[in-house]
A and B are shown apart, each in its own frame.
Chain A
Amino acid sequence: MANPNNVVVVAEQLQGDLQQITQELMGAARGLAEKLNTGVSCFLLGHGVTPMAERLIHYGADEVVVVDDPQLKEYATLPYRRAVIGILEHLKTPPPIILMGATTIGRDLAPRIAAYLETGLTADCTELDIGDYEHKGKADPTKTGTFSNILYAIRPSFGESLKARILGPWKNPQMATTRIGVMQALPVDATRKGAVYTVSVKFEPDDFRVKVVKTVRDVSATINLTGAKVIVSGGFGLGNADGFEVVRDLASIFKDSVVGASRRAVDSGWIPYAHQVGQTGKTVRPDIYIALGISGAIQHRVGMSHSRIIIAVNKDPDAPIFKFAHYGIVGDLYQVAPLLKKELVKMAGNVGIKAGA
């Protein structure tokens, strides 16, 4: 019987591939579990997934609770919802904390579970911690009190101009999702041992109202914005779709680069959404981020401000991007980008080699 006092991570796998977020969640959960003096349980749902349990233990789980069922072959909201609820009912008492990824799966599933359980859920956390809380609110005296060892779910708020600590001290499980790439995974430890439990879940016909006709994962067509070392992005300052030629041209000189874009460029139809960086697009932190004709509105900034080196080119010396870029050139990007390309190539020594040949 799995330990109901453990911090829970709901593992994420897509067609049998364990997603990176799971390892990150496990790192976060271990930190919380140590402060609570308890362990980490991982819920693993899918079909033919039982062999992955060992890997989850190597990632940091003490226990893995598996629902391995042909009905869970493809991710679908309702059967996965039923499986998580099934495990929780099996545990008898609710776990203190449940963590899930802020992914297209986690953000689909977690709110349904939270609403079913009538419990709090904090989305897209960037930090998690354990601490105490005194509730002084007078609106409802039944809620007043001092609570210890509760989850601090910390997330950006109000267009990311604020950081907020969200608490749900009144009821377990306290639920949270975390953004991809934010939590620190632990080194994989192949010597770790743990327990694996199997739970069978009874599905209802209603759970299969949504039929998954197919899942298409086209990795080659995917723009790997979050994995690239260098991103060259274009914004509204390009003026038109053809402007992205200049962006692509500059990107082409880097070893591992992709083309990014601001929301305004995407909304203008100049480039597909998959390239969008920012609040309504992808959050990225490459080694180099070059912004061409991007003003740097907060919605863009929050998606890229953690990049190691930010170089901005903009005509407007007062553009907000110059407040948080590391290097900036005030000027026409159509003039600057080709020069920048030439000089960067020279810097890497190509010209020197040519000269010597």
Chain B
Amino acid sequence: MPDTSSKAGVNPDGTIDRARAKRMLNPFDRYALQKAIEIKRAYGAEVTCVTMGPPPAAEVLVEAFEHGADYGVLLTDKRLAASDTLATAYALHKVVRYLGECDIVLTGLQTTDGDTAQVGPQIAERLGLAQITYCEALSISGKTLSARRVVEGGHQELEVQLPVLITVANSATPLDYKRFADVAGVKEFLRRPEEKERRIKIVSLDTIQADGARTGLVGSPTVVGKTWKLGEIGGSCTLFQGESMEREVEELIGKLRSDGKGVEELING
């Protein structure tokens, strides 16, 4: 996904130019990747990391390898440009189908650019899979996966028979992202063309037998009608600074009192 802290890459029509935008692994996906690696370590598994975007998006696969992923797939095709969540989920579910059987599909809860949290459940719907969203913790015994799912003011304990799609909450295991990192190992295998080819697949819509009419702007049921820049907020901050903290605090209190904001009413009597 594009780096949202960078201003590069917003088209005039409000869609995102993913070729121009700075790329980064979606922070939420780090939780999913970490969970996948934890499952691999605890129960034995092969982890395949799937991403979609312009060719340079392969960079995020390298990051996934460094943290312990076994295989990487990049879906890249001009016909994917400006896909909304439904079209994205269509394309990604085709990649999962193309890869064959899998026990668990993990996704981040949402992205930090779109924030929709829709793609995971929409992949599940298209694959006909059960889903557990907002998953904080999980354990597996045979074909049974037990999970803890966050709900407002509590949690649910759930059980499901594999396969299942999981979206990982960011209240899951605190991100200890460097724990399994093997940067040197990845550098090493990237230098060997046959190994690189074995572990990284670059596929197009044709490779995965996806219908280009169902992706991109054409295949998206929604369109960005208009965008507004949110104006720079502020300029109205009353700032107190100087040598004496005591004086600054006193001045702040004086100002709060003269502004009549009723602060004192919220303080214990």
The interface of chain A, by Cβ under 8 A from chain B, is 14, 19, 74-78, 103-105, 107-112, 114-116, 118-124, 133, 135, 137, 139-140, 143, 152, 156-171, 209-219, 222, 229-230, 253-256, 267, 269, 272-274, 279-280, 287-288, 297-299, 301, 305, 308-309, 311-312, 317, 322-332, 335-336, 339-340, 343-350
Contact = CB atoms under 8 A, between A and B. Distances in A.
A329 B151 contact: no
Contacts of B241: 317, 329-331
B42 interface: no
B229 A162 contact: yes
Contacts of B116: 111, 121-124
Contact of B223 (A135, A218, A298, A343): A135
Contacts of B245: 329, 331-332, 335-336, 339
Q: Which of B114, B118, B174, B256 has the most CB of A within 10 A?
A: B118
A12 to B, nearest CB: 9
A340 B250 CA distance: 8
A317 B159 CA distance: 51
The 5 closest A-B pairs by CB, nearest first: A159-B4, A330-B241, A217-B154, A120-B221, A120-B222
Nearest to A330: B241
B248 interface: yes
Interface in B202-219: 216-218
B122 A111 contact: yes
A119 to B, nearest CB: 6
A102 to B, nearest CB: 8
A222 B154 CA distance: 7
Contacts of A323: 232-235, 237
Given A119-B221, A328-B240, A217 B151 contact: yes
A110 B10 CA distance: 27
A350 B158 contact: no
A256 B222 CA distance: 42
B152 A19 contact: yes
A354 to B, nearest CB: 12
B226 A114 contact: no
B263 A344 contact: yes
A336 B114 CA distance: 38
A111 B116 CA distance: 9
27 contacts: A14-B152, A104-B133, A104-B151, A104-B152, A108-B134, A110-B118, A111-B121, A111-B125, A119-B221, A133-B225, A139-B218, A156-B230, A157-B227, A164-B228, A165-B226, A170-B221, A171-B221, A214-B156, A215-B156, A216-B156, A255-B267, A298-B5, A308-B261, A327-B237, A330-B240, A340-B252, A344-B263
Given A280-B28, A280-B170, A317 B122 contact: no
B188 interface: no
A112 B131 contact: yes
A111 B117 contact: yes
B194 interface: no
A299 B112 CA distance: 9
B14 A340 contact: no
Contact-size category for B: 35 or more
Contacts of B224: 157, 164-167
Given A108-B121, A344-B263, A330 B239 contact: yes
Interface of B: 2, 4-5, 7, 10, 14, 16, 27-28, 84-86, 89, 112-122, 124-126, 130-134, 146, 149-161, 164, 170-171, 174-175, 216-218, 220-230, 232-241, 245-246, 248-250, 252-253, 255-257, 261-264, 266-269
A152 B226 CA distance: 10
Contacts of B261: 308-309
Contact of A164 (B124, B226, B249): B226
Given A158-B4, A160-B230, A118 B122 contact: no
Contact of A343 (B118, B171, B250): B250
A349 B252 CA distance: 16
A21 B167 CA distance: 23
B130 A78 contact: yes
B249 A339 contact: yes
B112 A162 contact: no
B124 A329 contact: no
A165 B225 contact: yes
Given A110-B118, A111-B118, A254-B268, 13 more contacts: A19-B152, A75-B151, A107-B118, A152-B225, A159-B5, A209-B164, A210-B164, A253-B267, A253-B268, A255-B267, A297-B5, A323-B237, A336-B248
A111 B222 CA distance: 13
Contacts of B130: 77-78, 209-210
Given A152-B225, A322-B239, A344-B263, A162 B152 contact: no
Nearest to B120: A111
A287 B236 CA distance: 18
A162 B223 CA distance: 15
Contacts of A301: 233
B252 A158 contact: no
A161 B252 contact: no
A317 B239 contact: yes
A140 B158 CA distance: 44
Contacts of A105: 151
Contact of A327 (B223, B233, B256, B267): B256
Contacts of A77: 121, 130-131, 133
A127 to B, nearest CB: 11
Contact of B171 (A210, A211, A274, A305): A274
Contacts of B233: 301, 305, 323-324
